[in-house]
Each structure stands twice: as structure tokens, then as C-alpha cells.
């Protein structure tokens, strides 16, 4: 642990000077690395607020840890829930407990509002679109097509491969295999 953590928390300029001193003289080796990581993590997760005396105070910002659920309206919720479970594997984690939530795999999640006039969601009245990560896009597309579902595969992008389909109520679904 770095001895001057209180200084690191309250004055980034002093923290930087301490880090430079430790790096320049190779004193404390691991201490300097620990402090660099600590300052970097704090700067990424926090914002600085100027106090009346001109010094900075770091104010911690609480962040969400992930998406806890996706909720939307459906004409036939039971049938749509069954369709998602059958074709995409999204549903109860256990057949013994239908109220147990689905466990998704760890990975990147894009949160991106689109302009109101976007054509990306197919129809103008569509307010949202879900994008599911997949491990093997080709296998998933084959599985869906074998189930009688029309799937369109897009050309590969620099950040992954995509396919598009629609659920029985016409909601667009995008599948993404990150590169």
C-alpha cells in the first residue's frame, strides 16, 4: 500500500510529484506502481471538484454494474418468452425454478442512444433494439435458420460480425460476435 494515499486522494498535483520522485529514483519500486494504478483507477472512476481553498477534492461517482433486465411490452408475453428461450436460449436459468434469472456470460455491453430518426431499428415506431453477444455467429445463424427463422448476416466490421432477425412480434434482434 502506498503511504501517501491521503495525499493522493486530495491533491492530484502532489500525487503526481510523489510518483515522479519514486519513479525517477527507483525508490519504492512496487510502491510507485501501486500508486500509479491507484491514481489511474481513481481518475477513471471519479471526477475532481474544486474546493473553496483552491485544492481539489475527489468525489466518488457510483456506477451501475451491468444490465439487470430487459423489459418490453408484448401482445402475447408467454409465447414470446417461450420463443426467446427456444431459439436464443434466453429464459429461466433452471427448468425447476422458472423465476430464476437467466445468467449471461461476461463480456462487453454497448449502451448507445441513436438519433430519433434512425433507420437502424427497421421501423420508425421501434424505440429499442436488443443486441445479443454470441460465441459462434455461424452456428447460431444455422440453428435459427434450421428453426425456420429468417436471418440476415451483415458484412464483417472491424469490431465484430453481425446478423439480424426479428422475433414473432416484429422486434428487431441483432446478434454480435465480437472479434
Nearest residue to 111 via CA among 70, 139, 141, 143: 70
Strand order of the β-sheet with 152-153 is: 130-133, 172-178, 160-166, 152-153
Comparing 35 with 95, the larger pLDDT belongs to 95
Chain centre distance of CA 26? 38
**Same domain flag for 109 and 140:** yes
**Same domain flag for 81 and 54:** no
CB 174 within 8 A of CB 154: no
**Same domain flag for 113 and 38:** no
**Same domain flag for 43 and 116:** no
- End-to-end CA distance of the chain, in Å? 37
Q: What is the pTM of this model?
A: 0.62
Residue-level pLDDT at 97? 78
Q: Which three cell numbers stand for residue 130?
A: 436488443
- How far, in Å, CA of 151 to CA of 166, rounded? 8
Residue-level pLDDT at 75? 94
Residue 18's pLDDT band, with cuts at 50, 70 and 90, is low
User: For residue 121, what is the domain's CATH number?
Assistant: 3.10.180.10
| pLDDT exceeds 50 at position 5 | no
Of the candidate ranges 17-26, 98-107, 150-159, the one whose mean pLDDT is the lowest? 17-26
Residue-level pLDDT at 28? 47
CB 177 within 8 A of CB 160: yes
Residue 164 lies in a domain: yes
Range of the domain at 136: 77-178
Residue-level pLDDT at 103? 84
Residue-level pLDDT at 27? 42
**Same domain flag for 99 and 172:** yes
**Same domain flag for 90 and 159:** yes
Residue-level pLDDT at 58? 67
**Same domain flag for 124 and 86:** yes
Q: How many domains are contained in the chain?
A: 2
Amino acid at each position: 500500500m502506498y503511504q501517501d494515499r491521503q495525499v493522493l486522494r486530495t491533491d492530484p498535483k502532489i500525487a503526481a510529484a510523489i510518483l515522479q520522485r519514486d519513479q525517477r529514483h527507483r525508490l519504492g519500486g512496487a510502491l510507485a506502481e501501486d500508486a500509479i494504478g491507484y491514481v489511474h483507477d481513481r481518475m477513471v472512476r471519479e471526477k475532481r471538484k474544486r474546493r473553496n481553498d483552491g485544492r481539489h477534492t475527489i468525489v466518488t461517482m457510483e456506477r451501475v454494474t451491468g444490465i439487470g433486465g430487459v423489459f418490453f411490452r408484448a401482445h402475447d408475453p408467454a409465447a414470446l418468452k417461450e420463443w426467446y428461450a427456444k431459439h436464443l436460449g434466453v429464459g429461466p436459468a433452471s427448468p425447476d425454478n422458472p423465476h430464476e434469472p437467466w445468467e449471461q456470460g461476461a463480456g462487453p455491453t454497448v449502451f448507445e442512444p441513436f438519433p430519433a430518426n434512425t433507420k437502424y431499428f427497421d421501423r420508425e415506431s421501434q424505440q429499442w433494439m436488443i443486441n445479443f453477444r454470441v460465441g459462434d455467429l455461424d452456428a447460431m445463424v444455422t440453428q435459427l435458420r434450421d428453426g425456420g427463422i429468417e436471418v440476415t448476416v451483415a458484412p464483417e466490421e472491424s469490431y465484430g460480425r453481425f446478423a439480424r432477425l426479428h422475433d414473432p412480434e416484429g422486434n428487431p434482434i441483432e446478434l454480435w460476435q465480437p472479434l
